[in-house]
Amino acid sequence: MEKGNYALVFCGHPFGYEVQATAKLFIPGVRFILCEDGVIPEEIPNILLTERTENADRHSPVCLRVQILLHGQQGEKQDTLPPDADRSVQEWTLCRMLYDVLHELTGYTPPWGLLTGIRPVRRLLQMAEGRSLEEAAEEMQQCYRISDAKMQLALTTARIQQPILPHSSKEIGLYISVPFCPTRCSYCSFVSHSMETAYKLIPAYVDKLCEEIAVLGDMIRRYGLTVQSVYIGGGTPTSLNAAQLRTVMEAAAAHIAIDRAREYTVEAGRADTITEEKLRVIREMGATRISINPQTMHDHVLETIGRRHTVQQVLDAFETARAVGFDDINMDLIAGLPGDDEAGFAESLSRVMALDPESITVHTLSVKRSATMYQSDAVQNTVPAVERMAELAARQLPAGGWMPYYLYRQKNTIGNLENVGYAKPGKENLYNILIMDETQTILGAGCAASTKLIAPGGDITRVMNYKFPYEYIDRFDLMMEKKQEIEAVLRKMQEENHVS
């Protein structure tokens, strides 16, 4: 698809974000020319016009119109709403009309229908308040035109989450960021830095990270909070050497009652960073769960995506982790990697299942603008195959005893699909569930970490750390002043809890 040859036109309405998200369900991988004033540049062959008009007297109906010219084909829909129609009703109606015309012109049916949000299960659980999940699922499917398979996936996941979710407002999560990797994968847009360029920063980064953990630990004590789950992620935390890893985990144990946490995860991740010494440190310092993430079980695909390890190293790392004593291991796979195909993904899935980890997370490739693969036609042409890969995982994993326990969607995901965590009963990762549900406060330490404070009424306050390691180190004292924002919200939450 050619960039700049698609104009998305907004006339008389403020619904640009959702309208654009709906258009991208059918026309991914392009950057629209956005015409918010209704003026369309000349010689644009593909035009998507969305229009809202109402009379000044406010007693006449609101008129909505969608008119599309796409690759020489034309389509149009109009509708009217009462003058007092709610803003959300107007927005939904306009997006539905756009969806319908694009569906007619392209013949494509997005598997998640009109749903553009990243948290389908959360939406289902919200709709289920005061009634059964099944009733809510039926309404949600009709409202958003979700396929039977995806609705069933969301419903099964919600059933597993429902008894796990309730928790006290005094229970929180803790995220510790180690934003370093041996190399940068071609699909990656996370804030992670290769050891080749950032090696000299690591000692200073570890020192500052431990200082921040101490600050957060002091807040946790003063406000009577309990850390329910700990997640050390990145990047690749095992990019640190064993001594540095021990230093970070010792800081967490010294300042936070880690022994009271229900779970403690270290995302070991890449096999080329995993050693027996590091695994013994992780185990000794109290972590109960680790991730060993091959992404694929084919050496040629690993090479294509920029990973400098082999499948055999993945197998060796898994065997070592079992020998050290880990009985809760997650493994990640990605559907849609360049150089892979359906047969290759099926083989990777089979080999990972044969290892019998406690959980398997299946991601659909999401190509962000900052990744080198962004806007590749080759990526977009794989949509049908990637859909079948996701369907294969959704069939085979539950049949093998791994049930879906959390799912989320990302922007620019191939086929607008999803990422799903599958786990054996009792091995569901609480942190993953709660970060998607957005009902628990999570304190973040480290570069690019986000602190998410959830007030009793559901209001969310986010406080971000600096994005890059050199900023985090050089401006650390200034960043610590921002902790006053966290203090103010925690203080308010404590007062509200006392009142209630």
Q: What is the CATH number of domain 6-106?
A: 3.30.160
Domain boundaries, the chain: 6-106, 120-161, 171-445
Tell me how far apart the alpha carbons of residues 176 and 449 are, in angstroms, rounded to a whole number. Answer: 7
Q: Is the dihedral of CA 355, 300, 339, 273 positive or negative?
A: positive
What's the confidence (pLDDT) of residue 195? 56
Show the low-confidence residues of the chain (pLDDT under 50): 1, 191, 370-375, 499-500
Q: Model confidence over 413-465: pLDDT tens digits?
A: 888 899 999 999 999 999 999 999 999 999 999 999 999 999 888 899 999 99
Tell me how far apart the alpha carbons of residues 421 and 408 are, in angstroms, rounded to a whole number. Answer: 9
Tell me how far apart the alpha carbons of residues 364 and 269 are, in angstroms, rounded to a whole number. Answer: 17
Reduced to 3 states (helix: H, G, I; strand: E, B; else coil), residue 358 is coil
Reduced to 3 states (helix: H, G, I; strand: E, B; else coil), residue 189 is coil
What's the confidence (pLDDT) of residue 6? 94
The conformation of residue 454, written as its DSSP 8-state character, comes to: E
Q: Is the dihedral of CA 259, 263, 268, 274 positive or negative?
A: positive
Q: What is the CATH number of domain 171-445?
A: 3.80.30.20
Tokens linked to 183: 């190399």
Residues 6+ away with beta carbon under 8 Å from 14:
none
In this prediction the pTM is 0.91
What's the confidence (pLDDT) of residue 374? 44
